[in-house]
Amino acid sequence: MKKVGIITICDYNNFGNRLQNFAVQEVIKSLGYQVETIVNEHPSKYINDTNKVKSMVNRIKEMSIEEITKKLLSRLIQKSIYRDQIIYYEKRTDAFKKFTHENITVSSIEISNSNIPTGFSNNYDFFVVGSDQIWNPNYRYGSPIDFLRFAPKSKRIAYAPSFGTSKIPNEYIQNYKLWLSEMKNLSVREDAGSKIIKELTGKEALILIDPTLMLSKEKWLTVSKTAINKPKVSYILTYFLGEISHKTKARINRISSENNLEIVNLVCIKDKQHYLTDPSEFIDYINSSEIFLTDSFHGVVFSILLKKPFIVFNKSEQSHSTNSRIETLVSKFNLHQRMSENINEDENIFNIDYTHVDEILEIERKKTIKYLENALNINDNI
């Protein structure tokens, strides 16, 4: 059986990342390939803190003994709180790694820009990069691994990756232009990504739905499990990656009060029992909720897949690229009315029309399968 290696972000603290990794694997497996995710080291960027240290020393010299004492006491308290947070963060990471171990086949070899074994690319017939923000220069710092440069051009396939930004910083433009031009099969996840590729290379990149949308509700429910701490009563589910404004908090509390619903927040470390939720439980939490409020792209994806009422919020004015992914998604499925600014408080927010979604999903899924079959030369082998 032919073998495909997946290059993606390995983030053990993000629901969408782990679930999209699983989805890419399952989609390619369904086409008759052996699949494994290649563990790759997260690139880092050197930061010179010399000036920061000098500035801090100068500030301390100007402080009185009393001021220094107060600062030290405050730091000790903060350190105690921070230590407690680290413990829970590590527990959450372990839960995500357990999900990965149980559901995703990973490579035995870890690669990095400085360590790719000789002949490594010969172990696979094709390499797929995607999905998630694997081409985000502000996070991945223009890593050549993310553009599959270690492999022959004929083996390189981009499957719905995201740039995570609407503009490539000048320092990365030259490399991005070259590396994207060398990609044999190009597709992206949102309109902004397609525009970037067009501007840099002149190429047209197919816009595909996120891999998580390729799997049916029934398939996802076989992966889901019920969290021990899930409320026995009806609840609002909230999952915000950005800061929650006072206005949004007030809205959540109002919906809760008016409809007698408990509030469950999955990402707040202060809410420790729910903070430890793993990706399997994330699916069940959404499926069992009365309504889901989020600013997360994958939060919207699973609301659509599970056909749950949802309201999606913009992260901030500074997060245009993040909002672009969501805007592309709700536009594709004719769900603009679920954007927070489009929902009238007097309307029944629990009613949502999903009757048209299955037809759109079928068309988009066929589009993706056709792209992958061509990229993997499946039709040539018949």
Residues 158 and 276 in one domain: no
Reading the chain (382 residues) residue by residue, the pLDDT tens digits are: 899 999 999 999 999 999 999 999 999 999 999 999 999 986 665 434 444 444 555 555 566 666 666 666 666 555 554 566 788 889 999 999 999 999 999 999 999 999 999 999 999 999 999 889 999 998 889 999 999 999 999 999 999 999 988 899 999 999 999 999 999 899 999 999 999 999 999 999 999 999 999 999 999 999 999 999 899 999 999 999 988 899 999 999 999 999 999 999 998 777 788 889 999 999 999 999 999 999 999 999 999 999 999 999 987 544 445 577 898 899 999 999 999 989 876 667 999 999 999 999 999 999 999 999 999 998 765 4
- Residue 93, domain member (yes or no): no
Residue 306 belongs to a domain: yes
Break the chain down into helix, strand, coil percent, rounded to 5: 50, 10, 40
Residue 327 maps to a domain: yes
Stretch (H or E) spanning 53: helix 50-61
pLDDT value of residue 380: 62
Domain co-membership, 248 together with 286: yes
Q: Are residues 172 and 33 in the same domain?
A: yes
Residues 206 and 283 in one domain: no
In a domain, 261, yes or no: yes
In sequence order, the β-bridge partners of residue 262 are 235
Helix, strand, or coil here: 224?
coil
Count of the separate structural domains present in the chain: 2
Taking the C-alpha atoms of residue 245 and residue 341, their distance in angstroms, rounded to an integer, is 14
For residues 187 and 154, membership in a common domain is answered with yes
Read off the CATH number of the domain in which 165 is found.
Answer: 3.40.50.2000
Q: How far apart are CA 13 and CA 17, in angstroms?
A: 8
- Supply the pLDDT for residue 86: 82
Torsion of CA 48, 49, 51, 53, to 10 degrees: -160
Q: Which of 212, 243, 208 is nearest to 313 (CA)?
A: 243
pLDDT of residue 43: 65
Any domain includes 210: yes
Please indicate, yes or no, if residue 198 is contained in any of the structural domains.
yes
Residue 158 contacts residue 188 (beta carbons within 8 Å): yes
Domain identity same for 210 and 289: no
Residues 175, 231: one domain?
Answer: no
Do 171 and 318 reside in the same domain of the chain?
no
What residues contact 321, with CB distance under 8 A and at least 6 apart?
163, 164, 165, 166, 192
pLDDT given for residue 69 in this prediction: 64
Write out the residue range of the structural domain in which residue 338 sits.
Answer: 224-351
Residue 22 counted as domain residue = yes
| 196 inside domain | yes
Question: So what's the pLDDT on residue 361?
Answer: 97
- Same domain flag for 245 and 297: yes
Pair (283, 192) in one structural domain = no
Residue 48: what pLDDT?
42
Same domain, yes or no: 183 and 325: no
Q: How far apart are CA 225 and CA 202, in angstroms?
A: 45
Say what the pLDDT of residue 46 is.
43
- Whether 159 and 237 map to the same domain: the answer is no
